[in-house]
Amino acid sequence: MKPWVPAVAVWGRTAPSHSITAVLVTDDQQTLVTGSQEGQICLWDLSSDLKISSKEILFGHTASVTCLAKARE
């Protein structure tokens, strides 16, 4: 199995805009996934007290993310 290597995105004083166009909550209700008009997908951690913290931002789409769906294992 290949080792997991996290990607790091670095930007200036302001983060890239993320106009949310799609939302998905995982079955365990611990992760929120958002898709954006700018083509990014963001993963957010959800705590039991409903606090949201950023986890990962995925770049690469050239068009808006208009739909998110869960894949089967």
CA 25/CA 8 separation, integer angstroms: 24
| pLDDT tens column, 39-69 | 989 999 888 887 888 888 888 888 999 999 9
**7 lies in some domain:** no
Q: Structural domain tally of the chain?
A: 1
Mean pLDDT is highest, among 4-18, 21-35, 51-65, for 21-35
CA 42/CA 53 separation, integer angstroms: 11
Which tokens in the block code for residue 13? 């004083």
**49 lies in some domain:** yes
**51 lies in some domain:** yes
**72 lies in some domain:** no
**67 lies in some domain:** no
Range of the domain at 40: 20-59
**25 lies in some domain:** yes
Q: With beta carbons less than 8 A apart as the criterion, state whether 35 and 21 touch.
A: yes
Regarding pTM above 0.75, the answer is no
